[in-house]
Amino acid sequence: MDKVWMAPPFGAGEPKEVDATPAVLTPLMVAGWSQCEPPANTQEVTTHVDD
């Protein structure tokens, strides 16, 4: 399933990742949510631990 990140209206709240279907997107878009870039903390993080 194709997914997109959406940010809430007026910048109030955290972005969320949702299914990119009209049934999911339409109510969000009408309510003021807009497409946004994925938050930085969703990127893969590799941790190196010293022995």
Partner 1 sequence: MSTTRLQEVQICFGFGKQTDIATANLVAAMWRLKKLNAQLANPKLNTENDAEEYGKGHEFATTTFKTSWDTGGTLEKYLSAEMASWAMCFGLGKVVKSGSAGNWIYTCTPLIPANGDATELPYFSFVEQIRPGAGSVIDRLMPGCAVEGWTISIGSGPGRANSKINVEFHGSGKLTEPSAITVPAATVEKLLPSASLTLTINGVDYVTSKNIVSLETSWKNNIRMDAGFYPGSNFQTPGDATTGAIRGRLEFGNRAGALKFVARFDHNSTELTLLKAQTTGTAVIHLQFDANNSLDITWQKVAFATAEVGETDQIVTVAVEATPIYDTTNGIITAVAKCNVDAICQ
Point out which residues bind partner 1 (CB under 8 A).
Answer: 2-4, 6, 9-10, 20, 22, 25-27, 29-32, 34-35
Smallest distance from the beta carbon of 27 to partner 1, in angstroms? Answer: 5
Q: Which is nearer to partner 1, 24 or 40 (CB)?
A: 24
Q: How far is CA 31 from the centre of its chain?
A: 15
Beta bridge partners of 7: 34
17 contact partners, CB below 8 Å, separation of at least 6: 3, 4, 5, 6, 38, 42
Q: How far is the CB of 48 from partner 1 (least distance, A)?
A: 33
